Amino acid sequence: MSEFHCGFVALVGRPNVGKSTILNRLVGQKVSITSNRPQTTRHRILGIRTDADGQIIFVDTPGLHQAQPRAMNRYLNRAAADSMRDVDVVVLVVEGTRWKKDDDWVLEKLKAVSCPVILAINKIDRLADKAELLPHLQALSARHAFSDLIPVCAKTGDNLDRLEAALRKHLPVSPPFYGEDQVTDRSERFLAAELVREKLFRKLGEEVPYGLTVEIERFKAEKIALHIHALIWVEKKGHKSIVIGSKGERLKEVGREARQDMEKTFGQKVFLQLWVKVKEGWADDERALRSLGYNED
């Protein structure tokens, strides 16, 4: 019988390179929310994959970014940087052949990491000329002593099996830390708030998201259904009407889509109610951040 391997893998990179999509693919179900908006991920989230040979505990992180104008930005960077401590492998995720200043900044932080670092070049399906990939890989290999450089496509799943195999080589022999059926360390209450926030980010585009968060006021199982009451906090009065939309249509759409996802995730009927309230300046207020669940977890 082969030895069982178990360890932690941090997924890091600048915002919007596809870390959460990679996590969801490798775990086999939705654990971390996704959208086209940078900084959709705001918390460290564990995604757990267990099979007969081992357990990989993925740590999804907020995107690292140099600009830190507000308390929220500083919190996101701390959460991401802390996630690189005490892991067995780090996966640096970058976007195709697009290399930005924030990528350099993330790479500089990785110089302090003692564990192996694998480079995952995501979104290769978007490359118009595949011949550009090889010279780009050669240039990237000169930037850091990566243990592997692996082109992947999180959207389709291409080459993620190769990434997983590379990760397993670095995991120590260890019994599992989590039960074989557990896929995340987060509560259903947390996941409910995240699903509402995901739908808002997708519906609102660039209009509001950074000044928006979701708080679950009530999460209760009654007979055959979950009853969930969610508060959507925005920073400005003008944002409230944007979130609600004309005749409340946008909020209804968000509620409907979030409820459908919750029913898939929780495996039961969900009654979801949403309210929108204003808490001015919450994203630049350390105390307000903590009260809304942005803790150093």
DSSP codes, 153-192: BTTTTBTHHHHHHHHHTTPPB---SS-TT--BSS-HHHHH
Helix (H) or strand (E) run with residue 131 in it: none
Taking only the tens place, the pLDDT of each residue in 82-124 is 777 789 999 999 998 888 888 998 888 888 888 999 999 999 8
Q: At what angle do helices 19-27 and 160-168 cross, to 10 degrees?
A: 80
H helix runs in the chain, sequence order: 19-27, 71-82, 101-110, 133-141, 160-168, 188-204, 237-244, 249-266, 286-291
Rounded CA separation 194/8 (Å): 23
User: What's the pTM value of the predicted model, to 2 decimals?
Assistant: 0.87
Find all residues with CB under 8 Å of 96, minimum gap 6, and list them: 121, 122, 123, 124, 126, 127
- 89 within 8 A of 148, measured Cβ to Cβ: no
pLDDT (0 to 100) of residue 78: 76
Domains of the chain: 5-168 (3.40.50.300), 188-291 (3.30.300.20)
Predicted confidence band of residue 128 (pLDDT cuts 50, 70, 90): confident
Q: Which two tokens stand for residue 214?
A: 């979701």
Rounded CA separation 76/81 (Å): 9
Taking only the tens place, the pLDDT of each residue in 92-103 is 999 988 888 889
DSSP label of 66: S
Q: Scanning the structure block, which residue is given the tokens 């808490």?
A: 279
Looking at every residue in the chain, the average pLDDT score rounds to 88
Rounded CA separation 268/266 (Å): 6
pLDDT (0 to 100) of residue 67: 64
